């Protein structure tokens, strides 16, 4: 069970899924996936994605983005089954595209 959002809507440093969707839409992005990851599997996926963003190869970046999108349900499923209470929280795992 997840706790209620801390300070929502007045704590402007903490984002709800709805706030993120709204802000990305304002900036011209289409949200493809947005989930609140809960554990180590999501952290690994996020680190892999951040590594890919640093690549000079746009093909590699696109491929990693598509793989993350494809495996997002598996990531969420594994996180839910491997979660250990009070271990870590990450943030939102999202895939968005401009346009």
Q: How far is CA 96 from CA 10, 31, 41, 58, in A?
A: 25, 4, 20, 16
Q: What is the pLDDT of residues 67-91, one digit of tens each?
A: 888 988 888 788 777 765 554 555 6
Mean pLDDT, residues 42-60 taken together = 85
Tokens 């997840």 label which residue? 2
pLDDT confidence bin for 18, thresholds 50/70/90 = confident
Nearest to 77 by CA among 45, 32, 30: 45
Mean pLDDT score across all residues of the chain:
76
CA pair distance 96, 69, nearest whole angstrom: 10
Mean pLDDT, residues 39-46 taken together = 78
pTM of the predicted structure, to 2 decimals: 0.47
Domain regions of the chain by residue span:
33-94
């Amino acid at each position: 069970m997840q706790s209620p959002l801390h300070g929502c809507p007045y704590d402007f440093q903490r984002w709800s899924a709805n706030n993120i969707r709204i802000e990305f839409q304002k900036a011209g992005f289409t949200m493809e996936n947005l989930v609140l990851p809960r554990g180590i599997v999501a952290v690994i996926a996020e680190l892999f994605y951040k590594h890919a963003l640093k690549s000079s190869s746009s093909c590699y970046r696109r491929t990693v983005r598509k793989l993350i999108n494809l495996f997002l349900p598996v990531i969420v499923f594994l996180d839910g089954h491997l979660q250990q209470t009070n271990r870590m929280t990450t943030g939102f795992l999202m895939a968005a595209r401009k346009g």
